[in-house]
Homo-oligomer: A and B are copies of this chain.
């Protein structure tokens, strides 16, 4: 599901989203991170925190899912389509300052499924490691005939 993001999410805008979409609350932008297959930064604003003032866990999972999904559609040997089948996330610490940066690394590029690791750090808190996630996607290549 994560790869079904609006095409313009990659430039950090919310253009193309229906009015009032949950993603409008996400202040995010693409960043270049050496060694990562794809990376995005997101601000920790009052619109995405819980009552303790840290980035809400489900919304962080949303960011992670999106970054992992886009990673599969880019770079070498990109997929045409993908949908999340499994998401596992370990919360290591609260993301309180921001921006957080989510870095995706594709671990496996199979014909039918792909596995992506995403690491999230809080840049404003000395690059604190706030979450680590592993996602599996059902994928499809553009050129694959008969599928």
Shortest CB distance A34–B (Å): 18
Size class of the A contact interface (CB-based, 8 Å): 35 or more
Shortest CB distance A131–B (Å): 10
A18 to B56: give the CA distance in the assembly, Å. Answer: 13
Shortest CB distance A43–B (Å): 12
A134 to B132: give the CA distance in the assembly, Å. Answer: 9
A5 partner residues in chain B, CB cutoff 8 A: 50-51
The listed residue (B4, B107, B132) touching A50 by CB distance below 8 A is: B4
A22 partner residues in chain B, CB cutoff 8 A: 22-23, 25-26, 47-48, 56, 59
Question: Across chains A and B, which 7 residue pairs bring their CB atoms closest together, nearest first?
Answer: A58-B62, A22-B25, A1-B57, A4-B50, A18-B46, A58-B65, A61-B61
